[in-house]
Structure 1
Amino acid sequence: MTLYGYRIPSMAALLVWAVIWEIIGRFELVMLFPPFTKVLAALGDVISTPSFAAAARITMFSYLAGLAIAVVFGIALGMLMGLVKPADRLLNMWVNIFLSAPLSALVPVIMILLGMGTPTVIATVFMFAVWIIALDTRAGVQHVSPSLMEMSQSFGASRFKRLNMILLAALPEILAGVRLGVIRGVKGVVIGQLLVSIIGVGALFNLYSQNFLMAHFWALILILFAFALSLAALVGRLETRVEYYAGSRG
């Protein structure tokens, strides 16, 4: 970002919002917003508690399990839609519907099927992450240059090798979908633990809100935001490293 000819880091926007948050908290304009400095001070209290360590383990397991299943299934579904036109015509509408639908409304249905526990949270993470991964994979596969496939066929490449070539050529879009799925998965794990089974960070959110520990409540939200953005940044760095493959589709 450039302002009056000076380059300003993107983090400066966060500092502006932190200052606004601090002012609102200091003047007690909104009871739910304590000063930002108090939220930062509460970070240490939240992280150091045994309940946070236990909640983090439960949440991390549910999140990583659901995300892993979403990545595998989403890439496979996107490859199928990108390569098989009848499958794309059949599934594309439904994938877009699930992507734009209020998935929170489906969580109670998942609870009825899987019960009130970790499997429901895993399924919720899966539901939130899988559709964007599938659509981005489909887009990447459909942008693969036909000449690349013709060349592979002329050299007698097997079907398995051709699928690998398509996967590598579509990797930038696939990683873009995974990056978005990572962020949506964090939303899924929190909603799953709050709406269905009050476990993990959902239990901590419930505890802090019931006892009006709003500084701790917002500190926990900051931890989740930092976690999601850090994972997305890691995937984003990997995404930049494989942009070389995009040149083979031109």
Structure 2
Amino acid sequence: MTLYGYKVPKMASLLVWVAIWEIVGRLELVMLFPPFTEVLAALGDVVTSASFAEAMRITVYSYVMGLSLAIVVGIAMGFLMGLVPAVDGLLNMWVNIFLSAPLSALVPIFMILFGMGTPTVIVTVFMFSVFIIALDTRAGVRHVSGSLMEMAHSFGASKFERLKIVFLAALPEILSGVRLGVIRGVKGVVIGQLLVSIIGVGALFTLYSNNFLMAHFWALILILFTLALTLAGLVARLETRIEYYAGARS
């Protein structure tokens, strides 16, 4: 970012918002927004509490299980949609519907089907993540160059080897979908646990809000935001390492 001819780090915009947050908190304009310095002070209390360790254990387990299922199912679904026109015609509309639908409204149904516990949260993470992964995988598979597949066929590549070539050529889009799925999965695990309200970070959010511990509430949100951005950043770095595969489709 350049300002008046000077190169300004991207973190500068974040510092501006932090300053605004601090000012609004000090002026007590909105009781839900304590000063940012108080949030930072509460961060230590939240992280060192025994309830936080147990909540994160449950949350991380639910998140990893749901996201792992979403990656496996999403990539497989995207491959089928990209390679088989009949499957694409059957699933494409439904995938787009569920991607744009307010999935939080379905969580009560998941609670009826899977109970008020970790399985419901796992299913919620899965539903939030799987469809964007499937669509991006489909886009990557459909953009694989036909000449690339003709070359593989002419060299006598087996069916498995041709699928491997498609996978490598579609890898940039697949990782892009995984990166978006990682972020949406964090949203899913928070919404799932908030609606269940008895496990994980959802229980902590309910505890802090009911007792008006807003500094602790926002500290927990900062932790989750940092987790989501860190995971997305790691996947984005992996994307940059495999961008050369995209050249195979040109």
TM-score bracket for this pair, using the shorter chain length:
over 0.9
| Amino acid of the structure 1 residue aligned with 2:28 | E
Equivalent residues of 1:144, 1:169 under 8 A apart:
yes
| Amino acid of the structure 2 residue aligned with 1:123 | V
Paired positions, count: 250
Asked if residue 70 in structure 1 is aligned to residue 75 in structure 2, the reply is: no
- Match of 2:144, SS state, is coil
Question: Displacement of 1:58 after TM fit?
Answer: 0.3
Question: Displacement of 1:196 after TM fit?
Answer: 2.1
Identity %: 78
- Match of 1:30, SS state, is coil
Match of 2:219 in 1: 219
Q: Distance in 2 between matches of 1:63 and 1:245?
A: 29
Question: Displacement of 1:197 after TM fit?
Answer: 4.5
Question: Displacement of 1:110 after TM fit?
Answer: 0.9
Match of 1:174 in 2: 174
Match of 2:231 in 1: 231
Asked if residue 98 in structure 1 is aligned to residue 98 in structure 2, the reply is: yes
| Amino acid of the structure 2 residue aligned with 1:103 | L
Q: Distance in 2 between matches of 1:113 and 1:18?
A: 42
- Match of 2:86, SS state, is helix
Q: What does residue range 53-202 of structure 1 map to in structure 2 within 5 Å? A: 53-202=53-202
Equivalent residues of 1:194, 1:203 under 8 A apart:
yes
Equivalent residues of 2:197, 2:206 under 8 A apart:
no
Q: Distance in 2 between matches of 1:78 and 1:5?
A: 45
Q: Distance in 1 between matches of 2:8 and 2:21?
A: 21
- Match of 2:162, SS state, is helix
Q: Distance in 2 between matches of 1:62 and 1:83?
A: 31
Asked if residue 208 in structure 1 is aligned to residue 221 in structure 2, the reply is: no
Equivalent residues of 1:71, 1:178 under 8 A apart:
yes
Q: Deviations over 1:30-78 (max 9, x none)?
A: 0000000000111000000000000000000000000000000000000
Q: Distance in 1 between matches of 2:125 and 2:170?
A: 24
Equivalent residues of 2:193, 2:203 under 8 A apart:
yes
Q: Deviations over 1:129-179 (max 9, x none)?
A: 000000000000011000010001111111111001100000000000000
Equivalent residues of 2:107, 2:124 under 8 A apart:
yes
So what's the TM-score if we normalise by structure 2?
0.99
Q: Distance in 1 between matches of 2:146 and 2:76?
A: 20
| Amino acid of the structure 2 residue aligned with 1:2 | T
Aligned structure 1 segments of 4 or more residues deviating by more than 6 angstroms = none
Where does structure 1 lack aligned partners over 5 or more consecutive residues? none
Question: Displacement of 1:9 after TM fit?
Answer: 1.2
So what's the TM-score if we normalise by structure 1?
0.99
Q: Distance in 2 between matches of 1:212 and 1:235?
A: 36
Question: Displacement of 1:89 after TM fit?
Answer: 1.2
Q: Distance in 1 between matches of 2:54 and 2:28?
A: 33
Distance verdict in 2 for CA 1:22–1:197, change over 3 Å? closer
Match of 1:20 in 2: 20
Question: Displacement of 1:84 after TM fit?
Answer: 0.6
Equivalent residues of 1:63, 1:122 under 8 A apart:
yes
- Match of 2:201, SS state, is helix
Equivalent residues of 1:117, 1:197 under 8 A apart:
no
Where does structure 2 lack aligned partners over 5 or more consecutive residues? none
